[in-house]
Amino acid sequence: MRRLPHTGQARLPGRVVRFEPNRQVTAERSLAAGDSCLNETGRLPSVLLVELMAQVSGLLIDDAGSAPGDYAVLAGIKRMHLHDTALAGETVEVSGTLSRRLGDLYLVDCRARSATRELAHGSLQIRRVRGKRS
């Protein structure tokens, strides 16, 4: 998860379940009561669900040709469909499949689901940024 510019509570994926470099990634986030990501009603806000999807998608950035200090950022959202929200006590599973790459820009098709239902699906554009983080 070193490709992610996030640390501490800002790093949303809890663990990587499956990883095929340059192809596919699946990661999870378990939401416990009192989790800092949940709102006052115990739900994961949609903006944080999309951020979780973006962080998981950023793990697909190719290591070939990368340098220390390179990291991934969300560059765009395409056709995102939000169906439901995750609740305290659930585990959110996010899967991403690399569909296209153009230089340092990656198009990733992603899905987020809980154990019983689909939460969201769509495409995210992830860009590799070269250089040191500020």
132: confidence class by pLDDT, cuts 50, 70, 90? low
Tokens of 4: 């992610």
Question: Is the model's pLDDT at 133 over the cut of 70?
Answer: no
Which domains are seen in the chain, by residue range? 8-129 (3.10.129.10)
pTM across the whole model: 0.91
Per-chain mean pLDDT for the chain: 90
- Tokens at residue 107, please? 């198009």
Percent of the residues in the chain that have a pLDDT greater than 90, as a whole number: 69
For the stretch 30-43, pLDDT in tens is 999 999 999 999 99
Better-scored residue on pLDDT, 11 or 27: 27
Short-list 90, 109, 91, 89, CA closest to 99: 109
Report pLDDT for 81.
98
Give strand pairing partners of 126. 74, 106
Are residues 92 and 43 in contact, defined by beta-carbon separation less than 8 angstroms? no
